[in-house]
Amino acid sequence: MNAPATVYPVAEDFAAQARVARADYERLYAESVQQPEAFWGRVAERLDWYRKPTRIKNVSYQLEDFRIRWYEDGELNASVNCLDRHLATRGDKTALLFEHDDPALPAEHVTYRELHARVCRLANALRALGVRKGDRITIYLPMIPEAVVAMLACARVGAIHSVVFGGFAPNSIADRVADCASKLIITADEGLRGGKKIPLKANVDAALKLPGTNSVETVLVVRHTGAAVDMQMPRDRWYEAVVEGQPDTCEPERMNAEDPLFILYTSGSTGKPKGVLHTTGGYLVYASYTHETVFDLREDDVYWCTADVGWVTGHSYIVYGPLVNGATALVFEGVPNYPNMSRFWEVIDRHQVTIFYTAPTAIRALMREGDEPVTRTSRRSLRLLGTVGEPINPEAWRWYYDVVGDARCPIVDTWWQTETGGILITPLAGAIDLKPGSATKPFFGVQPALVDANGAALEGAAEGNLVLLDSWPGQMRTVYGDHNRFIETYFKTYPGSYFTGDGCRRDADGYYWITGRVDDVINVSGHRIGTAEVESALVLHPKVAEAAVVGFPHDLKGQGIYAYVTLIAGESPSEELRKELVAWVRKEIGPIATPDHLQWAPGLPKTRSGKIMRRILRKIAENAPDQLGDTSTLADPSVVENLVNERLGK
């Protein structure tokens, strides 16, 4: 099947002082799945609880008796765990190390004490504005310390935050605000990335003109670039003005472990993005425990995760995991290629970063620039590297290992999802030999299995769909406002287990190799886009009759977006219209959903019952017309011939 992969054995010097050494992994893993209550009860002691949980796990994936509850009688506050409990021992330690987009500006060091004070001031201001436990607050901010402050201030007063990535357009903001009936939005005048300005406040203004957004009473605006923005009084308030004069202590809300902490919208195979809901106790235990264990965290580490707080990686591994652990986390506003291709490595040298966690798409883009932008920097401070977001091709893995890490630093290829709250399949650098391209083995408590299309379990070396047989504390609890959709999406396909939506291979050593999504989700540069979302944006255009969207292999992005468009009768294709439609999707959803290819389709391949055959469209997009497979169920086979000819004609 596949040639045996090269193995990079655990470095013995790393293992000698690792948090989890070779001998520990099998033993702890066995305990974690055989006695989950004992194991996760012990792990939960890492948090500060008002009331320690005695009921650890209460889970059933059976549809008639469905429930997922962890630590259900425990009480705690997330911001207290991220801040207050460090004040005595780590008050002057840097919590956030903020590196501006512009490298000429000095980095800011926000200590745990300062961060605590800033969070408390905003939390008091939120209460003064009428925010109460359970209210939803939308955060639409750039990668600046206020984004972290805003999340923790919500947690302090028990409000549920919903962070919306700064690259989303007004329509996408409006959908997310409307879905959870957000009461307040925290944004900034503008964002800044690679020297380019992003009109955040103007986007919020446009979003709030759209239907369904009446729930918003207040918009807090952080002055970041200083640009002039429209302030609509009394709705819009300057952030600085509302926090000014607020006390720098704030009584935290006492939360049940199963009270919601946040909602994060993510794309699925159908319909609008889902509001993935995470709760407080289990999520914090899992995010902090995986962060400490997977990254082998030490007190003096300088830890840098390059994700944006608009994605789950930013939630778990910039904010909650590192801060619960009292770590120093670097927050970077900019992009890897500004002002030059060495930016990542220069930041690493400047701040003596020891742990670096980024996405394969960034690695591939930087690899294309050759070794020199890397090798002209030192990077001696690094000791551990990580990746997340999509499968990493072995070639990029080796470059990351040899060139970026100077063949000194283990790489943890971490597989997980917005839904999982934290890392589920990953190497532990002191315990598990590495194979480039494999996320290797399950983390403690995680029970992966492979099934075929009919749900039959596959044993040993095999390839199939990846499911998880039991719960872990960081698992999402529901789709906000639509519990049925939660159960339908994840627990109906293979009854009794959680379906990940990913395909996966397991080799003879029991290593897992994620092969990518098997549903209608496209993973573009590590960002999830539902084909249905792009299709509905396209058909909103007055000249479009029908659209079908698929993913196709893309050298840099992993997957690109390929759109087939049928125009309404009387309209004819033109280069101008093609550009207009591409720009239209950007405007409707945001730049991350920009189609890479748009092909005119006089007709789409459909079954006799009218179902679009995406399998065929994927093969045409991949330029593999010899692999179309069975086309006998098509209503009109000539449609396919036309599409293939047009594709080859390009």
In three state form, how does the secondary structure of 90-157 look?
HCCCEEEEEECCCCCCCCEEEEHHHHHHHHHHHHHHHHHCCCCCCCEEEEECCCCHHHHHHHHHHHHH
Two structure tokens written together for 609 = 């019952």
CB of 397 to ligand 6R9, least distance (A): 11
Site string for ligand 6R9, 61-100 (x = CB under 6 A): ----------------------------------------
Interaction of residue 125 with ligand 6R9, rule CB under 6 A: no
Closest to ligand 6R9 by CB, 114 vs 519, is 519
Two structure tokens written together for 143 = 């990668």
Q: Which of these segments, 18-26, 107-115, 500-508, 566-574, binds ligand 6R9 (CB under 6 A)?
A: 500-508
Q: Which of these segments, 85-93, 370-378, 388-396, 590-598, binds ligand 6R9 (CB under 6 A)?
A: 388-396
Is 306 annotated as contributing to ligand binding? no
Please give the torsion angle defined by the CA atoms of residues 641, 643, 648 and 650, in that order, rounded to the nearest 10 degrees.
150
Closest to ligand 6R9 by CB, 58 vs 393, is 393
Q: Are 171 and 588 in contact (CB under 8 A)?
A: yes
Q: How many helices (H) and strands (E) does the chain have?
A: 22, 31
Q: Are 456 and 442 in contact (CB under 8 A)?
A: no
Interaction of residue 273 with ligand 6R9, rule CB under 6 A: no
Q: Which residues contact 521 (CB under 8 A, 6 or more apart)?
A: 267, 268, 269, 501, 528, 529, 530, 531
Residues in 127-146 that interact with ligand 6R9 by CB under 6 A: none
Is 195 annotated as contributing to ligand binding? yes
Closest to ligand 6R9 by CB, 290 vs 414, is 414
Is 477 annotated as contributing to ligand binding? no
CB of 410 to ligand 6R9, least distance (A): 15
Is 389 annotated as contributing to ligand binding? yes
The partner residues of 100 in beta bridges, in order of sequence, read: none
Residues in 628-647 that interact with ligand 6R9 by CB under 6 A: none
Interaction of residue 416 with ligand 6R9, rule CB under 6 A: yes
* Cα distance between residue 483 and residue 462, in whole Å: 33
Interaction of residue 414 with ligand 6R9, rule CB under 6 A: yes
CB of 393 to ligand 6R9, least distance (A): 11
Q: Where are the beta strands (DSSP E) in 359-398?
A: 384-388
Interaction of residue 593 with ligand 6R9, rule CB under 6 A: no
Length of the chain: 650
Token match 């305990």: residue? 31
CB of 390 to ligand 6R9, least distance (A): 5
Interaction of residue 415 with ligand 6R9, rule CB under 6 A: yes
Interaction of residue 494 with ligand 6R9, rule CB under 6 A: no
* Cα distance between residue 391 and residue 377, in whole Å: 27
CB of 502 to ligand 6R9, least distance (A): 5
Q: Which of these segments, 149-157, 208-216, 486-494, 497-505, binds ligand 6R9 (CB under 6 A)?
A: 497-505
Whole-angstrom CA distances from 113 to 108, 150, 300, 371 are: 14, 16, 17, 41
CB of 441 to ligand 6R9, least distance (A): 13
Is 647 annotated as contributing to ligand binding? no
Q: Which of these segments, 162-170, 194-202, 387-395, 561-569, binds ligand 6R9 (CB under 6 A)?
A: 387-395
Closest to ligand 6R9 by CB, 158 vs 551, is 551
- For ligand 6R9, the binding residue among 266, 288, 325, 471 (CB under 6 A) is 266
* Cα distance between residue 501 and residue 583, in whole Å: 29
Give 3-state DSSP helix, strand, coil % of the chain, rounded to 5: 35, 25, 40
Q: Are 550 and 618 in contact (CB under 8 A)?
A: yes
Of the candidates 584, 587, 630, 589, which has an alpha carbon nearest to the alpha carbon of residue 607? Answer: 630
- For ligand 6R9, the binding residue among 32, 171, 218, 313 (CB under 6 A) is 313
How open is the CA angle 478-483-485, to the nearest 5 degrees? 100
Q: Which residues contact 578 (CB under 8 A, 6 or more apart)?
A: 598, 600
* Cα distance between residue 290 and residue 252, in whole Å: 25
CB of 439 to ligand 6R9, least distance (A): 5
- For ligand 6R9, the binding residue among 343, 528, 614, 619 (CB under 6 A) is 528
Is 586 annotated as contributing to ligand binding? yes
Closest to ligand 6R9 by CB, 103 vs 503, is 503
Interaction of residue 390 with ligand 6R9, rule CB under 6 A: yes
Classify residue 568 by its DSSP letter: P
CB of 287 to ligand 6R9, least distance (A): 12
Residues making up the binding site for CoA: 193-196, 313, 337, 525, 586
Could you list the residues that contact ligand 6R9 (CB under 6 A)? 266, 311-313, 388-391, 413-418, 439, 500-502, 514, 516-517, 523, 526, 528
